Amino acid sequence: MDNSHFDIAMNNRSQHTDSSADPFGPGNLDFGGSSDDFDFGAIDFNDPMLKDAFDFINRIADGETAPSLSNGSADMHSSMGAFQLGSMASGNSYDGGDMLGNPRFLSPSPLFLPDTDDTNDFLFPASDEAPLSTAANGEESSSSSTGELIDSSNQSTSNPANNAALPASFLLSSHVERNPLLPTQTVRVHPPKKTLTTAQAQTMNAAKAEKAKRAMLLKTDVIKLFDEHEEKIANLAKVHSVKPEYLKRLLTTASTLKRKRATGRIQALVHIKAQEENSTRPVGQKLKAPALRKLVDKDTELLEISKEKLEQAKREVDAQRLLSTRGARPNIASAGKDFGCTSRLIKNEFDSLHLRTGAVGFGVLAPGSGDDRGLPIWFVAGSNSVDFVRAHLNTTMWDLTGQLELWANTRKSGKPPTIPDLQSRSSNVIASGLRYILGNKSVGMNYVNYHRSIVGKYHVCLIGLPDLAIFKNANGPITPFLIKDQATLEALYTALEAGACHWARMSPDDIAEHNEWLKTQPVKERSVRSDKGQKRGRRTRGTESDDENESRESSRKRKRANKKGSSLQNSGRTTAKGRKTAAPKKSRVSKQLPPRSRETVDSDEDLDLDGDDGENDNEHDDDEDSENDDN
């Protein structure tokens, strides 16, 4: 392949796309120097990878589909090389992959994946020796019109060239698939597009023209009103000798910080009416909020709903709103769009907060897995925050972001938690959640008498336990330390950490129902004392003198034991029975002067009546007598 082939590929590409948005357009093709100085002779155009890559570009530019790679370069790296150049030719943005080398394409277009029945035929060309193999269940991976890689089988796919299984990180999986116990939002189903007749199209065009005419009239009137408003404000400012801006601030005084409003009665009634009306309607014909509100106003029976049903409807509305804000996204595309929008919103809020208040700080966000869409992002409030990261963390924001992404992609490859770890973590989450909802740090969890000591006393219950037989048989939570199954403990801990299993306060109806149920349950009696039926004497409380005597006796015993141990170690003599005798007592007061009187002796040493230590006479100390008795 010579240079003319490359020029032909570039010319074909320029006929299909705009050069301003083309990576191969003028000024966008960067070979590390100017195009005039680039040496095409340094490229080996006989390389099978380059042949397949340029053939891929020409086929995409000519509008062909399902390009295949030669068998000589059908390995993983060649396929990724053709992938990269092919995506650049199709107008996609390729960022070189994530930290693990997995391919990742941004802003995919319909040209990214050809119109083929199997994505694997595009990723890895089929050969006669090794036909493409998919999952065991026979399901094939499909490609969407938006260029999204969809792995419907979630199984290992084989490369036909080398007959080696793909790494698990290449098979895409969404956040909700990796965490099946999380509460998940429902997939939004869009109604099919309606085909309009000629009369309907003419009616819509006439309505659009009339709407534009009315909008123009409204715009003219608003401009006229604005001029009159400015003139009146200016006149009023002259009369009261104030600035016009001051009057405008008085007219537009409103708080920019809105508090979260609780669910009202109207929202609960509209929710009930929506369940009645929209449950049987197909997609595209469901009633919207304004229509439901009109039906609520006409339904006199619904307006006289009881207080208990109204509170239940409010809780359902709150749960639905909580699912919309904290529920897991159902697929990779929606999760990636949510990540991008929310991260940009957080960045803008960081900048605005710094400009309003001068606050400083920094933040880093990265996708939770290599399969997720979205690029890691960092943001700071104030330029000084970057200096703080460099000085105290000894790194840069880009390095910190890359380390976070790498950690997120490889954190599950470490050692999994053991059964004791899961037991301890689950028990701590349950106990801390109970203390938090009650606002009492001294309350403890009671698993044995859970329904009476916890539910019946505090009117709170643990909801959202995993749907497993061990919890159904116990009719409530059991202590995690009695669970010995790894899968059960992981399911319980995941539910607790994700918030699916949490403590909740009971409604008056639930409390009454639980109390009625408790009446039918047997009361667990306390265990019987082991000394039941035996006569127990009165317990006497000791005096201070008794406490002093006990402490004095205990200290004396310790001294005797120490003396006895030291004497046994220093003595080399043994008795007839083979036991060592006490060593002769050393005098520790021989160098001291004898006291004038026995009344002035304050030392703890034992002295005989003559004032000496008894070495030269036949007298013995009480300690020696006791030691002999012990021996």
Secondary structure of 295-361 in HEC code, one letter for each residue: HHHHCHHHHCCCHHHHHHHHHHHHHHHHHHHHCECCCHHHHHHHHHHHHHHHHHHHHHHHHHHCCCE
Residue 64 tokens, joined: 């062909």
Indicate the number of domains in the chain. 4
Of 68-77, 240-249, 394-403, where does mean pLDDT reach its minimum?
68-77
* 273/302 same-domain check: yes
Q: What is the dihedral of CA 617, 619, 620, 621, to 10 degrees?
A: -110
Residue 127 tokens, joined: 């050969």
Mean pLDDT of 350-375: 88
Residue 189 tokens, joined: 């189903």
Q: Which of 519, 538, 559 is the last residue of a domain?
A: 519
Indicate if the pLDDT at residue 173 is higher than 50. yes
**Rounded to 5 degrees, what angle do the CA atoms 580, 582, 584 make?**
135
Name the pLDDT band for 110 (thresholds 50, 70, 90): very low
Phi/psi of residue 130, each to 5°?
A: -130, 95
- Assign 503 to helix, strand or coil: strand
* 340/430 same-domain check: no
- Assign 362 to helix, strand or coil: strand
* 407/432 same-domain check: no
Domain that holds residue 118: 3-172
Q: Which of 463, 491, 519 is the last residue of a domain?
A: 519
Residue 51 lies in a domain: yes
Mean pLDDT of 383-404: 89
- What is the CB neighbour count within 10 angstroms for residue 325? 7
Residue 426: per-residue pLDDT = 92
Distance in angstroms (rounded) separating the CA atoms of residues 552 and 380: 68
Question: Which amino acid is located at 495 in the chain?
Answer: A
* 358/292 same-domain check: no
Q: To which H or E segment does residue 505 belong?
A: strand 502-505
pLDDT of 412-465, one tens digit each?
655 778 899 999 999 999 999 999 999 988 999 998 888 888 999 999 999 888
* 272/380 same-domain check: no
* 403/425 same-domain check: no
Distance in angstroms (rounded) separating the CA atoms of residues 41 and 237: 78
* 424/310 same-domain check: no
* 347/389 same-domain check: yes
Q: Which of 477, 500, 519 is the last residue of a domain?
A: 519
Place of tokens 């397949």: 52
Q: Which of 62, 69, 113 is nearest to 87 (CA)?
A: 113
**Rounded to 5 degrees, what angle do the CA atoms 479, 481, 483 make?**
85
Q: What is the dihedral of CA 161, 162, 163, 166, to 10 degrees?
A: -100
* 373/443 same-domain check: no
Residue 271 lies in a domain: yes
Residue 555: per-residue pLDDT = 67
* 145/21 same-domain check: yes
Question: pTM to 2 decimals?
Answer: 0.36
The residue among 426 and 475 whose pLDDT is bigger is 426
Contact 272, 287 (CB under 8 A): no
Residue 131 lies in a domain: yes
Contact 367, 335 (CB under 8 A): no
